[in-house]
Amino acid sequence: MSGTVSRNHKSSGVWRTFRKQKIPQTFAILGIIYLLIFSYVPMSGLIMAFKNYNISLGVMGIFTSDWVGLKHFKAFVNDINFWTIIRNTVALSFLKLIFAFPMPIIFAVMLNEIKQNKIKRCIQTISYLPHFISWVIVSGLAINFLATDNGLINQMLIALGLIKDGIPFLTSAGHFWPLAVVLDVWKDMGWWTIIFLAAITGIDPSLYEAADIDGASRFSKILKITIPGIRGTIAVVLILALGNLFGGGLSGSNFEQSYLLGNAMNLEKSQIIQTYIFKVGLSNGRYAYATAIGLIQSVISLILIFGSNLVSKKVSDTSLF
Amino acid sequence: MLSEKVKRKVSSILAAVLVITSLAACGSTQDAKSEGNAGSTANTAAAGSAEKEPVTLDVFIDFPWYWTEKFEGIIPEEITKETGVTLKPTRAVDDTQLGIMVASNDLPDLVYTDKLFDRLSSSQYSYAWDDLISQYSQDFKPSDMAIKTAKSYATDDHFYTILNAAASQEEWNAAKAGCPTLASLLYREDILKELGNPSMKTLDDYTKVLGMVKQKYPDMIPLVLDQTFMLSIFKTWLIPNWCPGNSQLMETDDHKLIHYTSSPEYINFLKYANKLYQNGYMTADNFAYKDGSQATQLVVNNKAFSYSWYTGSTSDQMTDMTRKNGFADATWVQAQPMVDNAKYVTLGTGWAGVFITQKNKNPERSIQLMNWMFSEKGQRLTQWGREGTDYTMGDDGIPKFSEDWITARGDENVFYTKYNPAYYFGISSVTEAVGRASGVSQNSLDVMDSIRKNLKLVISPALAAPKEDTDEKVVLDQINEYIKNQEVKVVLSASDADFQKNYDEMTATLNKLGVKQLEETLTKAAEELK
């Protein structure tokens, strides 16, 4: 009897709290509905990865076609492109994590050290503007600037006598990874700097004042106050970046870069899981096979996000969940 | 200032609007379909009494390179006058777009494509033409060959399209002029003269000339490749029986169906193309171009000596365009075959087809439009313009075009804006070729004549090609995808040692992919077709 009263009391308490928060809760519910419709409902299509599905069977064929177990997964592992695709996806993703992830942090710290506000704002604006240019435009610019024969960069280098023949930035496999990382940093470093700058603004100014009194150098203040002060933000952003590691980390640009800048000459370094899924799934119509490949990537990403969250929790006491 | 209560109300309304908008977006396709079906019923009912009632049909043109995405100009206006149909075209962004549209069943009224025939030849996506013909257009009588070809793509006994640009060997033998649209090599005659008119009769001669060009005109690229035709002309000349087409299959002299990479002469083509690259006669950048205009810009701006493109009035067009860019002496001509006994193989089954999709607002008017497109009047109007104004029929069966038409034809942009002969969905390749042969230079005519006389039509690479969703199709797709990239790698090998390494890798991978087994299966299928 007392248990029922307590439960009723508890549920009316939850309802009362909910009613008090009805506006923010409405927004949260909207987000949940969005996720349900666009993220969870389509997940039912994942069973296609284990079925002998083809498009002529229609949407219901996803559920009614024959089960084939791990056939598509085995086919992917035996695909002649398997190791190349995995290597490219992992290498490109880790290179971006290594180079593109620390850059906004370093840049934010450097910007924070600029005392003239006008210059600071000007640099910040210039650095985050490329974020608003789509990858289609960026790749078009890259093709025009970096072409071997008549690209601006090569013509300039040749005119300066630094090179004799144009560098095949776009047509050699060896140049693809550096090119992708550099473009990624250029495009999105400024945007992510905003997050870290905001975190730096939240650091208690009295810590800097105390450090000044103690005679700490600028570099010491960065190392002892600024970096530890934004450690939590760094951890959260790192977890998010790891969760989307195969998508290209912070910028999520792997597909766009590989699709738009990839060509027959650099394919051995530019073909990644996502472009391969796009090719076999949509161009060749092998939807079940493409779903199986996509599922493999999703499972690895899920492991990465849980793993990094766990590590972050243990190391820095900061985690997403 | 707004009170807290008002702010909350506004926020709630905004939130509700967001939810409704999201859900409305999900449901839009369904709504569109319902409207389409309703329209269809209404138009069907009204069709008998008002046959020419204006109708607008959306058409997806599955060719990113297509000349136009507007239904404007003299010919489109005439099409509307004749049929009452106005088309609203959308040009494909890339080769994968149609696949996405099919996957999401987000199809327009009509789809004009040379791909995914198997998928679209199904009642799930398209109306069967035989059903529509018997219902709405009984006088439409496609040829038996055209029906057989179209039926080969379907799993039921219906046909869902009729391919255009088809013609039999007999029709070609009887043709007065022209040739099918095939690869051709264009070069600058004026520059050849400046070089002392060296011979250009063989591929060795041509290669020597390219060397001379490179030496005398260092700013010029000796050979520029069109994005669609790429190295096709050299495949035509160096791989006997090579057949252009999506399947990349070819029929040998002993009637075997093989992938062209299995031809013993394939290595000759690769070696020749690699020689062109190693000598610096073509650039690697050319293989990375994302759209065709990059190559065209080089050609019309005096940066190219030769250009791999296609037959017809192309050399005349390039001459006009280059001269308009300030190079008054520029003269582009087409090369005669540079090998002995050159054979020009092409599919007699046709090229592209229109599918009347299940989303079509008015299937009745759509099939009647196609009937008109395939009629002699439709074919001539869509390709040659208005009889008596834009052309008059010569006694020799070749149309004589007006001065204005010929002038406009010299500039693709003007031609496809003013006349716009791009909507030739029912054209026969002979009608098309005869029209393209009229009013062109003697050189173009001579090249077309020699191609037509050496023409060989085949059907098995199209009819016996594996169907979608079969294991053979998966293997063929894998082979074609691999070759698309690896062939470029072999051709662009920096040294002979690299070439051999890349070539060995390619042959080993092709064997691993099962090219031999595939060819055996397809050869059997081709034999069964006979």
The model's pLDDT over A254-279, given as tens digits with 9 standing for 90+, comes to: 899 999 999 989 999 999 999 999 88
Contact: B22, A34; criterion CB under 8 Å: yes
User: Are the beta carbons of B350 and B424 closer than 8 angstroms?
Assistant: no
- The beta-carbon neighbor of B485 closest among A23, A150, A264 is A264
Q: Point out which residues pair with B224 in neighbouring strands.
A: B307
Distance CA B93, CA B384 (A): 28
- Residue B47: per-residue pLDDT: 37
- Residue B9: per-residue pLDDT: 56
How many CA atoms lie within 13 Å of B111's alpha carbon, on the beta-carbon side? 28
Distance CA B167, CA B178 (A): 13
Taking each helix axis from N to C terminus, what angle separates A254-261 and A176-201, rounded to the nearest 10 degrees?
A: 150
A39 min Cα distance to partner chain B (Å): 13
pLDDT digits (tens, 9 = 90+) for B231-241: 999 999 999 99
- Residue B51: per-residue pLDDT: 55
Contact: B512, A284; criterion CB under 8 Å: no
Asked whether the predicted pLDDT for residue A75 surpasses 60, the reply is: yes
Q: Say which amino acid occupies B14.
A: L
* ipTM of this complex: 0.77
Contact: B11, A171; criterion CB under 8 Å: no
Average of per-residue pLDDT across A279-295: 88
* pLDDT-derived band at A144, boundaries 50, 70, 90: confident
- The beta-carbon neighbor of B283 closest among A148, A263, A287 is A148
Average of per-residue pLDDT across A90-108: 92
Q: Say which amino acid occupies B454.
A: N
User: Are the beta carbons of B79 and B423 closer than 8 angstroms?
Assistant: yes
- Residue B468: per-residue pLDDT: 77
Asked whether the predicted pLDDT for residue B37 surpasses 80, the reply is: no
Distance CA B177, CA B179 (A): 7
> In chain A, positions 204-243, which contact chain B (CB-CB < 8 Å)?
none
Distance CA B243, CA B238 (A): 12
- Considering only residues B21 and B92, tell me which one the structure prediction assigns the higher pLDDT: B92
* pLDDT-derived band at A286, boundaries 50, 70, 90: confident
Residues of A in contact with B102 (CB under 8 A): 55, 285
Average of per-residue pLDDT across B323-347: 93
Distance CA B308, CA B298 (A): 12
* pLDDT-derived band at B105, boundaries 50, 70, 90: confident
- Considering only residues A243 and A127, tell me which one the structure prediction assigns the higher pLDDT: A127
Per DSSP, A51 falls in state: B
In the predicted model, what is the mean pLDDT of chain A? 89
Burial B166-190 (b: 16+ CB within 10 A, else e): bbeeeebeebebbbbbbbbbbbbbb
φ, ψ (nearest 5 deg) of residue B347? -75, 125
Asked whether the predicted pLDDT for residue B60 surpasses 80, the reply is: yes
Which CB contacts under 8 angstroms, 24+ apart, belong to A310-313?
A312/A235, A312/A238, A312/A239
- The beta-carbon neighbor of A283 closest among B99, B290, B474 is B99
Size of interface A-B (CB pairs under 8 A): 96
Asked whether the predicted pLDDT for residue B28 surpasses 60, the reply is: no
User: Are the beta carbons of B439 and B392 closer than 8 angstroms?
Assistant: no
Taking each helix axis from N to C terminus, what angle separates B129-136 and B363-374, rounded to the nearest 10 degrees?
A: 90
Dihedral over Cα of B262, B263, B266, B268: its sign: positive
pLDDT digits (tens, 9 = 90+) for A153-163: 999 999 999 99
Contact: A26, B287; criterion CB under 8 Å: no
* pLDDT-derived band at B162, boundaries 50, 70, 90: very high
- The beta-carbon neighbor of A267 closest among B12, B22, B485 is B485
Asked whether the predicted pLDDT for residue A2 surpasses 80, the reply is: no
- Residue B190: per-residue pLDDT: 97
- Residue A1: per-residue pLDDT: 47
Q: Is A21 on the interface with B (CB under 8 A)?
A: no
CA B248 to chain centre: 14
Q: Point out which residues pair with B243 in neighbouring strands.
A: none
B371 min Cα distance to partner chain A (Å): 28
- Residue B70: per-residue pLDDT: 94
Chain B residues near any Cβ of chain A (below 8 Å): 8, 11-12, 15, 18-19, 22-23, 26, 95-96, 99-100, 102-103, 116, 119, 122, 124, 155, 221, 283-285, 287-288, 290, 468-469, 474, 477-478, 481-482, 484-485, 487-489, 492, 509, 512-513
Dihedral over Cα of B458, B464, B468, B472: its sign: negative
In the predicted model, what is the mean pLDDT of chain B? 88
Q: Supply B157's token pair.
A: 């006994």
- The beta-carbon neighbor of B285 closest among A54, A149, A279 is A149
Residue with tokens 């679209």: B120
Least confident window among A38-47, A51-60, A228-237, B446-455: A51-60
- Residue B528: per-residue pLDDT: 84
Residues of A in contact with B285 (CB under 8 A): 147-150, 170-171
Average of per-residue pLDDT across B453-468: 89
pLDDT digits (tens, 9 = 90+) for A12-33: 788 888 889 999 999 999 999 9
Total Cβ atoms within 10 A of residue B458: 22
Contact: A285, B509; criterion CB under 8 Å: no
* pLDDT-derived band at B40, boundaries 50, 70, 90: very low
- Considering only residues A99 and B51, tell me which one the structure prediction assigns the higher pLDDT: A99
Distance CA B85, CA B365 (A): 8
Average of per-residue pLDDT across B183-199: 97
> At B140, is the secondary structure helix, strand, or coil?
coil
Distance CA B190, CA B43 (A): 59
The residue among A29, A21, A24 whose CA lies nearest residue B19 is: A29
Q: Is A72 on the interface with B (CB under 8 A)?
A: no
Residue with tokens 């695909």: A79
Contact: A265, B284; criterion CB under 8 Å: yes
pLDDT digits (tens, 9 = 90+) for B396-417: 778 999 999 988 987 888 999 9
- Residue B30: per-residue pLDDT: 38
Nearest CA in chain A to B506: A80
Distance CA A153, CA A147 (A): 8
Q: Parallel, antiparallel, or unpaired: how do β-strands B304-310 and B221-225 relate?
A: parallel
pLDDT digits (tens, 9 = 90+) for B279-327: 999 999 999 887 778 899 999 999 999 999 999 889 998 999 999 999 9
The residue among B248, B180, B210 whose CA lies nearest residue B435 is: B180
**Domains delineated in chain B:** 46-166+350-407 (3.40.190.10)
CATH number of A52-316: 1.10.3720.10
Average of per-residue pLDDT across B20-47: 38
The residue among A145, A142, A106 whose CA lies nearest residue A127 is: A106
Dihedral over Cα of B358, B362, B368, B374: its sign: negative
- Residue A305: per-residue pLDDT: 84
* pLDDT-derived band at B439, boundaries 50, 70, 90: confident
